[in-house]
Structure formats: structure tokens, C-alpha cells
Amino acid sequence: MSASHPFDNVPYPSVMVALPAYNEERSVGDVISVAKKYAHLVLVVNDSSKDNTAKAAEDAGALVITHETNQGYGGAALTIFKTAQKYQPDILILLDADGQHDPMDIPKFVAKIMEGYDVVIGSRYLEQKSQDMIPLYRKMGMRALDTATRTAAKNLETTDVLCGYRAFSKRAYSEIHHLDPTYHGCTDIIIQLSDLHMRFGEVSINVRYDLEDTSAKTPVGLGLNLLGGIIQTISIKRPLLFFGLPGFVIAVIGTVLSYQALVITAELGSWPPTLTLTAMMMLMMGMLLVITALILYSISALMRK
């Protein structure tokens, strides 16, 4: 197996397992050791770690690519997709390097991709046992973020869209050429592929929540970061929903208030200043939002061509 073409002599399907890693020297080696049993190549993208993540990964037998500066989850994931596009494995699998995801679940993802799915997402909700292991505050936050992501995506029926344990067919990973460099790149992947009408599936997984320091951010900070990214994505990719619908509702309310102002003026012979000003402001705001939605929708449509 040559370094430049690691899958030349691999029987179908060839599997590449990839781990974005930042300061994971304590856990990355163990994850790699198990993943190697099911993968033909294990890739670690060391996102400018301050510890010995790169050495631990190399010692465990992984191919390591190191970022000179920290690029966040989206940047690390983009490096993974570009590397997969270079080596062309049949299946690409992403999982966390901190030990939360069990590499022994890899065969589940491979089997599901082989059924004809383009994207397979690990789900913590398919089995009651897995649900019971999730802390309540995490479960509530994940449900809210899942709902927001489904609003941005198209025809997405999976139960755990934000799970980072995922598998991609060659058809799917070949379509990812840009990602938001922040953590919400994980939602950007799903939204991009849903726009391309990829076939999504899911498999049940268990996730460990008893590990320390699995994220550089607090759960609240991470959740707000993800939510902000999802809202940003919705505003850009779904402008008619994000700007147009509220703008239309506000304009309708402004129209109703304007009619009431006219009725009062006809009855009393003078304009009601507060009602009139409110009606004018709502009409202008509504029209501005609708115009903004139409402009962004036109730009979005041109970018998709």
C-alpha cells in the first residue's frame, strides 16, 4: 500500500476513518487503536493542539495532518473532506477523538452505507438505553438545536442530526468543498448535503458523557455557538423563511393598523398619531424584510447555478 494511494489494493469497500482532534493526547491513541481494526486508513487532523496529540496519533499508527493555526471543527472537517477527495475511499467515517464515540460501532455505519445511503448519522435516540444516558439539560438543548437544523435542511427525517459520528459515501463527501470554519460547520455539512437530495440514514450508537474536558467550551457556550451558526445558515440559505415570512406578517399587521387609523380618522376627523406612526413603521419594516428576502433569495439561486 503506497503512501499516496492507500486504497489501491483494498477490496471493496475501502474505509477511511477520520478524527478532528484538539488537545486529545490522552484519548486519541486508544480511539485509533480500535478504529484500525475496521478501517484501511485512520486520519487525524491535529487542529493546532497545544499538547502531544500529533505524536500520540502517529505512535498509534494514524496519518496525521497538523494545522499551523486552530481552524475549529469546520476547518478540521474541511481538511478531512479534502483528504478523502484525494485518496478516494469508498466510505468516509467521522468520529470524535475524545473517546465519547465508540469505534466498535464503525461496522454499523459501513453496513448502512452499503445499503445505498449517502450519509449515515449516529443517533442517541433510537434506543431507550442510549436516551437514558444523556443528561436532561443536554437532551433538551440537543432537541432544540435539532429542530433548528431541520428548519434549515430539506427533507431531513433523522432523529439526531447534530451527532458528530457520521459516515459518508464517495458521492456525498465529494460534494463538500467549503465549510464554515467555526464549530457549526457540523450543521453546515448536513444542510449542504440535504440541499443536494442525498439519502440520509441513521444507526443507533452509545455516547459517553462521563468523560472530563471533552470540549473547550461549556455546554451552554457550545449550544449558543451552534444555534448562532444555524440561524446564520437559515438567514443565508432560507431567506424567504427567515426574512420573507416575518416581513409579510409584519406588513399585514401594518396594513390592518393603517385601515384602523383610516376608520378612526373618518369617525373623529383627525389622525390618531400613535396608531398611524406604528402602522407606518410596521409597513416599512415589513416591506424592507420582504425586499431583503427577495434579494438574498436571488443571490442564493445564482450561487447554486
State pTM to two decimals: 0.72
Please give the single-letter amino acid code of residue 78.
L
Residue owning grid cell 466510505: 91
- Cα separation, 36 vs 12, in Å, equals 17
Q: pLDDT of 88-126, one tens digit each?
A: 999 999 999 999 999 999 999 999 999 999 999 998 887
Angle made by CA atoms 23, 28, 34, in degrees to the nearest 5:
170
179, 266: one domain: no
SS3 18: strand
- 146 or 169: whose pLDDT is higher? 169
Q: Is 1 among the domain residues?
A: no
> Are 30 and 84 in the same domain?
yes
Find out whether 235 and 243 touch, Cβ atoms under 8 Å: yes
Regarding whether 92 and 135 lie in a shared domain, the answer is: yes
Q: Clarify whether residues 192 and 278 are in a common domain.
A: no
Residue 143's pLDDT is: 63
Q: How confident is the model at residue 2 (pLDDT cuts 50, 70, 90)?
A: very low
How confident is residue 242, by pLDDT bands cut at 50, 70 and 90?
confident
Q: Which domain holds residue 145?
A: 15-237
For residues 256 and 261, what is the distance between their CA atoms, to the nearest angstrom? 9
